[in-house]
Amino acid sequence: MATEEELFASVDALLAEEPQLPPPAERARLREAAGITQARLAQALKTTTQTVKNYENGRSEPKSPRLEAYQRLLNGWAAKYPAPGTVPAAEPRPEPVPETTFTSPAAAEAETRTTGPVEAPGVQSVQTVQTAQRSAPAVARPATSSPRPAVKKTAKPALDPRFPHGPLAVLDGDGSAYGVDGIVLDCPAATVPELVEWTLKESGLGAPKLHRNGKDADPLIVLTAAAAVKLGLPERLEGHEQRRSLRLPEDHPVVKQVAKARWKLTQRGFGPWARIYRPAQAGQRQCVQLAVLSWDALDTRSWPGVEEMEPADIARVLGVYAQRVITPRGSTAVSGLELMTTLRPPTRAVQDRTTGNWVSGHTPGSLGTEPMDPAPPEATAEHPVVVNSGWTGGFLDEEAYQWVRDVDLLTGDEVSLPWAVGLDLNTAFLAAAARLTVGLSGPDHFHHPQFNPKIPGSWLVDLSPVELDPRLPSPFTPSGQRPQGPAWYQTHTVAYAQELGYNVRPIQAYLRRETGAYLDPWHDRLRTAYVDTLADLGVHKDLTDTEFLAAMERHKQADPGLVAVLAAVKATVKGGVGKLRERPQGRHYKDGDRWPALERPTWRPDIRAAVISKARVNMHRKMLKMAEFTGLYPLAVLSDCVVYPSPGRSALDFLPYSASGKPIPGAFRLGPTPGLAKVEGVQEMAWAVDLMEQGLNPARHIKGDGHDARFDEGE
C-alpha cells in the first residue's frame, strides 16, 4: 500500500513534466475572450503572428521556455474567462481536431442538434439534414452552386451553438437562403416581418462578439432581386438624391407592414442597407440587417464582380469577409468604422464600489460614448465650431499626395529612359495606422509650446524655410508645393520637419492630454485579413521579389471570390479612415448646422489627419531614400502610387539592392504586407511626359484602366 508521501511524490513528478496546453480551439477562444489580437500575443511571447496562428490551429506547439509562458497566460485567462458552464482543467496535449472540448453540457447538446460528421466543404450528409429537420424549422440542405476552388483554411473559432449556420445568408426568390460553408436553409417567409422573425428565431444566423465588452453581430440577410420582389419590394430603388440616401417612402406597403408588426427602422429608413429592430429585452438584441443587391447595396468598386455571382458564391465571399473582418453593416466605409468601435467598445461593466451593483463604465483606450468637438483648425469650414466662433485662423490640410513634377525639371537622361513604372504601396493608410498614438480626450489650446513629437495634436508652425530638392514633392503639403508661411500641421508632419534638421518653433497648438493607440486592434485585424487573403491567392511573404511580381501578375485569375474579398478589405481601410471626417450630405444642408455624423464619438478629423499625415511622411521618406541610393526622382505621386522613370519594364530594373541581393532598408521594397510595394502599372516614358505637359498626373492613369488611386479615401 503506497503511503501518502509516495503518492504526493508521484503526483509532483507528473506536475514537473512538460506543461500541457488546452486544445487549439480553446487557446483561440481564451485569447479572443481576453480581447487580445494574435499580433499582440506574438509580441508578448517574442515570436511571430504566424507562429501564434499555428498554435491556435494545431499546426505546431511551443517549446520551452515559451511553452511555460504560454501555459501561464492561458491558465490565467481560463480562470477569468471559463467556457460557459464548465471549469477549465488541464488536459493532455490534443490532436488539432475536437473543438467541443471544454464545452458545457448545454452547448454540447446544441452542437449535437446542429452538426454532423466531418465532410467535404459545401456538402452536408443526409443524417445532418434529417437531424436539422427534426430539431429546427430552418432546414439545412446541400448547396447547388459550382464547386468552390481550393482555398487555404484559416483557423476557425470554436463553434458558437447560438449561431450554427454562420453570420449571414443570401436569400433567393425560391426561398433558398444560402449560407457559409455551402449550407442552404429553407426560408418560408413571404413578407419582410416574417423574414425578420424567421431570421431571429429559426435561422441560426449571427456571429459572436469580437471583444469581450462588445456585442454579438446582428444576422445579415442579403436579398437577390427575385427575393426582393417576392417580399413586395421594388426590384430597383430609383430617385434623384444621392444613392446612399435613397430609401422607400414612409407610405410604402412594406414600410407599413414593418410598423404594423411593431418593428422599427433606423433613421436611415428602408434603403439598400436596412436595419430592422425592436428595443432590447433582458439584454438581448433583436435586430436584423438587410442588404438589397439590386439596390446597389454592394458597390462594384468595393466588391468587384460580386453582383454577377450566384447566391451561393455571394454568400461565400461575404462569409469570408465576415470571418476575417466583420459582418457587413453597410458600405465598406461603414463597416470599417463599425470595426473600430467593435474592437474598442466604448463601455464595459464595472462594479460600483458603494452599492456593489454592476454599472456601465468607460472602456480605457476607447473614444467613449459622447461626441467630441474638434479644435477649430481640425474642423471643416461648415462645422458649427468654425461658423459659430468666426474662426479665420486656417485649417489642417493633411491630405494624400496629388503632385506632378514640373516638366522643366526633367533631365535628358530621364526623358531618354524608355519606361515609366508605377509603384503602389499596399494599404498605405493601414500601414500608417500601426502603433499610431492618437488623442482620446478633447483638445487644449497652447501658445508658443515646445514641440513634442510624442503628443498628438495640431501645430501652427512656419515650415516654409525648409529647403528640399525641387525634384521631390514637399512633405508638408498634399500638392507637393513648398508652404507659404505659417500653417497648421499634424504632429507627424512637424516631427518630420524636425527629422530633416529644421528647428521647429510652434506658434500655437491644440493638443490632447489623454492619448492611446486606439487603432491598434483595427490595424491588426485588417492586416491579418489582407495578408491571409492575398496568401490564399498565391501571394505570400516567402516569395522572392521575382516570384512576387509574377504572383501579383496572375493573382486576380486565381479566385474571383477572394479577389472581391481582397478589394473589400482595401476599401474597408480607406473608407473607414474617411468616415472619421464624414462631411454633410444633401442639398438642404446649411453651414453651421450639425449633421448626423457629428453625433458619433468616431467623428474625429484629427485621427484621420494623423493617419494621412503619417502615410504621406512615410511616402516622402521612401522617395528621399530612393534618391539617395539610386539618384532617381519620381515623376508624379497620387496618394499611395508613385511613378518612376525606368530603364526596363520591371521594378527590379530600378529598385535598390545590396551587393548580396537584399533590398536596401528605407527605400521602396516589394512585398505582400502593408507598407511594402507592388507594381501598379507600366507605360512608355513618352506617354508619361505627354501627360505631364498637359498638367495631368501619370500616377492616376498608369494602370491603364481608369484606376484612381484616391478611390474611397473617404469623405
Q: Cα separation of 611 and 675, whole Å? A: 13
Q: How many CA atoms lie within 13 A of 333 on its CB side?
A: 18
Domain 18-103 = CATH 1.10.10: no
Pairing verdict, β 220-223 and 284-292? parallel
CA-based nearest residue to 193, from 259, 139, 252: 259
Radius of gyration for the chain, computed over Cα atoms and rounded to the nearest angstrom? 28
Q: Cα separation of 422 and 136, whole Å? A: 55
C-alpha cell at 486: 505659417
Give phi and psi for 638, each to the nearest 5: -140, 105
Q: How many CA atoms lie within 13 A of 410 on its CB side?
A: 20
> Which of the 8 DSSP states describes residue 317?
H
Give phi and psi for 3, each to the nearest 5: -80, 165
Long-range contacts of range 34-37, CB-CB < 8 Å, 24 or more positions apart? 34/77, 34/80, 34/81, 34/212, 35/211, 35/212, 35/213, 35/521, 37/520, 37/521, 37/524, 37/525
Would you state the pLDDT for residue 424?
Answer: 97
CA-based nearest residue to 116, from 84, 153, 142: 142
Q: Cα separation of 568 and 566, whole Å? A: 5
* Residues in the chain with pLDDT values less than 50: 87-137, 139, 142, 144-157, 240-241, 706-715
Segments of 585-671 assigned E as strands: 636-638, 641-646
SS3 of 215, please?
Answer: coil
Q: Cα separation of 595 and 371, whole Å? A: 12
- Region of 74 (left: φ > 0; alpha: ψ -120 to 50; beta: rest) is alpha
The structure's pTM equals 0.79
Would you state the pLDDT for residue 707?
Answer: 45
CA-based nearest residue to 631, from 513, 449, 491, 469: 469
Long-range contacts of range 96-99, CB-CB < 8 Å, 24 or more positions apart? 96/23, 96/24, 96/57, 96/58, 96/59, 97/58, 98/23, 98/25, 99/23, 99/25, 99/156, 99/158, 99/159
CB atoms within 10 A of CB 418: 12
Identity of the residue numbered 435: R
Residues 6+ apart with CB under 8 A from 472: 620, 623, 624, 627, 633, 634
Q: Cα separation of 65 and 45, whole Å? A: 10
Buried/exposed 170-181: b ≥16 CB within 10 Å, e otherwise: bbbeeebbbbbb
* Vertex 556: Cα angle to 552 and 559 (nearest 5): 125
SS3 of 132, please?
Answer: helix
Q: Any bridge partners for residue 445, and if so which?
A: 510
- Biggest CA–CA distance in the chain, Å, is 99
Cβ(612)–Cβ(491) under 8 Å? no
C-alpha of 437 from chain center: 18
> Which of the 8 DSSP states describes residue 147?
P
> 470: cis peptide before it, omega within 30°?
no
C-alpha cell at 65: 521556455
Q: Any bridge partners for residue 292, and if so which?
A: 223
Identify the burial level of 89 via C-beta atoms within 10 angstroms of its C-beta, where 0-12 means exposed, 13-18 middle and 19 or more buried: exposed
Identity of the residue numbered 342: T
Would you state the pLDDT for residue 706?
Answer: 47
Q: Cα separation of 315 and 165, whole Å? A: 12
Within 540-604, where are the H helices?
545-554, 560-579
CB atoms within 10 A of CB 139: 16
CA-based nearest residue to 21, from 45, 40, 37, 43: 45
Q: What is the pLDDT of residues 169-215, one digit of tens each?
A: 999 999 999 999 999 999 999 999 999 999 999 999 999 999 998 99
Domain ranges of the chain: 18-103, 121-330, 331-715
> Which of the 8 DSSP states describes residue 376?
G
Cβ(29)–Cβ(82) under 8 Å? no
Q: Cα separation of 82 and 84, whole Å? A: 6
Residues 6+ apart with CB under 8 A from 666: 621, 622, 625
Answer positive or negative: Cα dihedral of 113, 116, 121, 124.
negative
Would you state the pLDDT for residue 415?
Answer: 95
Q: Any bridge partners for residue 392, and if so which?
A: none
CB atoms within 10 A of CB 125: 13
Identify the burial level of 374 via C-beta atoms within 10 angstroms of its C-beta, where 0-12 means exposed, 13-18 middle and 19 or more buried: buried
